């Protein structure tokens, strides 16, 4: 064992010196992850905020103006102005000036006064299928609140007892504000670490091949396993430091607090980084140029991390064959574990299976990387 580490240390130190001298690799491991986290964290916000709307009030009564106030006083909507015709409403919706329009027909107040149902039309721009359903639900909530207030006033005036068959009091666990940013940030951390770790380490062995120093390592007493581990460890230490920066940025920039155990969080990050770095090493062993290594590492890291990890698209909504395919990427298990730790603060039993899956994935990929290096040595 002492001889193993004595041989391993020079490889680690050599790789550390190469990384320190390579500004591009340092940028990939330190600057780009933080920049991506902040940039994507701000733009990937699916919450409805400040949706502009106009009102075509064809009734122009106190009741219709009171109805409009239920939208104006909402924190989700911004009242633009009162439209004067249907053509003006259509134009504002067509050019994207407003997200929705409220059209109040004539005799709105008369129908309310006589206890009748007053129809109101709300036209919503559905071109953005991500935000439109949320907008519709908020509009329905505002109208339901207004209708409930009118119903309560009418019951009090008639002296009737206000009876609610079901007392609905929702309580949201883990993310009570229903903030998409808090949901996205843990997945974004996995996406960023996957991309940067695989791309950075994919260059390591390829760099030796292009510089002509790979032959010296192959004919030396260094075993393929020592070579793989020695080149992986410096990147692992640097990636851990980058992970700490990402966790700190998620707290100070987006207010995402780690509710769970920090030891569990560290172990999850460590296992995932080993998986990502092992993938980069595997790509490096099968590539002959840095350009090919960069392209292939981007392909095997970006697409699975974006499409098959549950980062954006829920896995349970995918077809069954695709759900099975998602088990081939470690970022799926990392995102499940880190969300359980950061957002829920649950115990080890909730994500121990994800740890096992990442450990198995890292072992398999490292095995094939070492096997590939042995073949190159015998060639």
**DSSP conformation letters of 213-279:** -HHHHHHSS--HHHHHHHHHHHHHHHHHHHHHHHHHHHHHHH-----S-HHHHHHHHHHHHHHHHHH
Do 19 and 81 lie in one domain? The reply is: no
In a domain, 173, yes or no: no
Nearest partner of 341 among 270, 277, 275, 241, judged by Cα? 270
Residue 209 forms part of a structural domain: yes
Residues 85 and 109 reside in one and the same domain: yes
Tokens at residue 333, please? 């298990």
Residues spanned by the domain of 349: 10-44+179-378
Between strands 100-104 and 77-82, the pairing is unpaired
Q: Same domain, yes or no, for 40 and 68?
A: no
Domain match, 130 and 257 both: no
- Statement to judge: residues 331 and 360 lie in one domain: yes
pTM for the model stands at: 0.78
> Is residue 275 domain-shared with residue 197, that is, in the same domain?
yes
Q: What is the CA radius of gyration of the chain?
A: 29
Please check whether residues 120 and 184 belong to one and the same domain: no
> Does 251 fall in a domain?
yes
pLDDT, one tens digit per residue, over 201-246 is 887 777 777 776 666 666 666 777 777 887 788 888 888 888 888 8
Sequence-distant (6+) residues with CB within 8 A of 276 are 193, 194, 197, 198, 201, 239, 301, 330
- Is beta strand 100-104 parallel, antiparallel or unpaired with respect to 121-124? antiparallel
Among candidate residues 158, 190, 216, the one where a domain is terminated: 158
For residue 140, tell me if it sits in a domain: yes
Measured from the Cβ of residue 307, the count of other Cβ atoms closer than 10 Å reads 16
Considering the domain boundaries, does residue 4 fall inside one? no
Give a yes or no: residue 151 inside a domain: yes
State whether 193 and 338 are in the same domain: yes
Kindly state whether residues 58 and 189 are assigned to the same domain. Answer: no
Verify that 145 and 217 share a domain, yes or no: no
Under 8 Å between Cβ of 259 and 345:
yes
Give the integer Cα–Cα distance in Å for 305 and 66: 49
- Per-residue model confidence as pLDDT tens digits over 140-189: 888 888 888 887 777 776 666 666 666 677 787 887 777 777 888 888 88
What is the reported pLDDT for 162? Answer: 61
- State whether 303 and 252 are in the same domain: yes
Angle at 193 between CA 191 and CA 196, to 5 degrees: 105
Q: 362 and 322 share a domain?
A: yes
Domain count for the chain, please give it: 2
């Amino acid at each position: 064992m002492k001889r193993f580490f004595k041989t391993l240390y020079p490889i680690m130190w050599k790789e550390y010196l190469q990384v320190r001298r390579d500004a591009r690799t340092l940028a990939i491991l330190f600057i780009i992850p933080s920049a991506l986290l902040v940039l994507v964290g701000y733009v990937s916000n699916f919450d409805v905020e400040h949706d502009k709307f106009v009102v075509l009030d064809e009734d122009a009564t106190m009741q219709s103006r009171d109805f409009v106030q239920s939208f104006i006083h909402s924190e989700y909507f911004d009242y633009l102005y009162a439209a004067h015709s249907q053509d003006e409403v259509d134009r504002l919706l067509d050019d994207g000036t407003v997200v929705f329009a409220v059209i109040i027909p004539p005799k709105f107040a008369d129908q309310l006064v006589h206890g009748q149902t007053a129809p109101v039309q709300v036209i919503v721009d559905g071109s953005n299928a991500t935000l439109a359903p949320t907008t519709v639900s908020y509009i329905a909530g505002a109208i339901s609140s207004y209708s409930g207030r009118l119903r309560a006033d009418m019951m009090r005036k008639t002296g009737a007892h206000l009876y609610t068959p079901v007392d609905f009091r929702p309580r949201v666990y883990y993310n009570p504000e229903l903030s998409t940013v808090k949901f996205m940030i843990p997945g974004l951390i996995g996406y960023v670490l996957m991309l940067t770790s695989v791309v950075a380490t994919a260059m390591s062995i390829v760099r030796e091949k292009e510089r002509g120093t790979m032959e010296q390592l192959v004919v030396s007493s260094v075993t393929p396993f020592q070579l793989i581990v020695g080149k992986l460890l410096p990147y692992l230490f640097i990636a851990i430091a980058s992970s700490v920066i990402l966790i700190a940025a998620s707290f100070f920039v987006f207010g995402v607090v780690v509710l769970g155990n920090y030891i569990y969080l560290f172990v999850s990050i460590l296992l995932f980084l080993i998986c990502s770095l092992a993938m980069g090493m595997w790509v490096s062993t099968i590539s002959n140029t840095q350009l090919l290594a960069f392209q292939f590492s981007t392909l095997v890291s970006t697409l699975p991390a974006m499409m098959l990890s549950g980062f954006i698209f829920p896995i349970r909504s995918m077809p069954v064959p695709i759900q099975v395919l998602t088990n081939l990427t470690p970022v799926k298990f990392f995102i499940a574990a880190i969300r359980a730790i950061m957002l829920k603060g649950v115990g080890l039993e909730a994500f121990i299976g994800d740890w096992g899956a990442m450990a198995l994935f890292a072992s398999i990929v490292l095995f094939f990387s070492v096997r590939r290096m042995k073949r190159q040595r015998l060639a």
